[in-house]
Amino acid sequence: MSTNASPADPLATLGALPGVAGSVDSVRKAVDRVYGHRVMRRRSGEITSEAALRGARASAALSGADWALEEVRRRTDFSGEPEARTVGAALRLTAEAGQLLSIWRQSPLRVLARLHLVAAGGAADDASVGRPRLAGEKADEPLIETPLPDADEVAGRLDGLAALIIEGSEAPALVSAAVVHGELLALRPFVSCNGLIARTAERIVLIGSGLDPKAICPAEVGHAEQGRAAYAAAFEGYLSGTPEGMAAWIAHCGRSVELGVRESTAVCEALQRGAA
């Protein structure tokens, strides 16, 4: 992260950037609307399950495995070809996210290591799995092509990110989630699955913060709907470290949450009509 934030609470400083407050307010209103839907009172578990499936499908699409939702729903074997493994990793990560909420605020680096183990699946016996990259190791991330930080920089910035999470912040959940997401994309700390892990970490922050406690607002859907080019362009704003660039990235993440809300609202409406 490169900002002019106060060391006391840099995330809260980001929340004060021009335009960010509007994004935060818009997201909160959208989330409140879907939580107030009448279907949520009776069938919230179904909405949560569907949001998890759609979020995983969308995250996999951003990592190069753009499968139709019904194909993801139908398949049971996600071994074999690289795209299938990517989809399988996304599904496993989404399922695991809810199990790690209580650990995240105390030990975020432990959670990130666990996420990499989960994403790797059958490759868990690989010595590079479940730990940050070592000197000389590369990261395989098909969407992000920016220069890769070296192992020493990764270690230092991961420690800084962990300290921010553990110390807590007065910043809105959207800001915290966007920074965690952006920093993990920038670092690509593991040899594989970094985009999937970054988006899962964003999900964990949104759920654990209380903004989306039932996990029904899949930001991954919104990131995918806005397109890979828009995602990469917004991420360049994060990398710039400028107030304008950071605000643009946070706004992009906010719009992604709103589009995730729209997706789940449509699911609610379908259930209400008896069509799903």
pLDDT at 5 over 50: no
191-245, pLDDT tens digit by residue?
999 999 999 999 999 999 999 999 999 999 999 999 999 999 999 999 999 999 9
Q: According to DSSP H, which parts of 105-218 are helical?
A: 108-120, 151-167, 173-187, 194-208
How deeply is 210 buried, as exposed, middle or buried, from its count of CB atoms within 10 A (0-12, 13-18, 19+)?
A: exposed
63-94, pLDDT tens digit by residue?
999 999 999 999 999 988 999 999 999 999 99
Query: What's the CA gap between 84 and 88, in Å, rounded?
Result: 6
Predicted structure pTM score = 0.93
Q: Residue 54 in contact with residue 86, Cβ under 8 Å?
A: no
C-alpha pair distances (Å), 135 with each of 3, 74, 132, 190: 27, 41, 10, 12
What is residue 136's DSSP assignment?
A: T
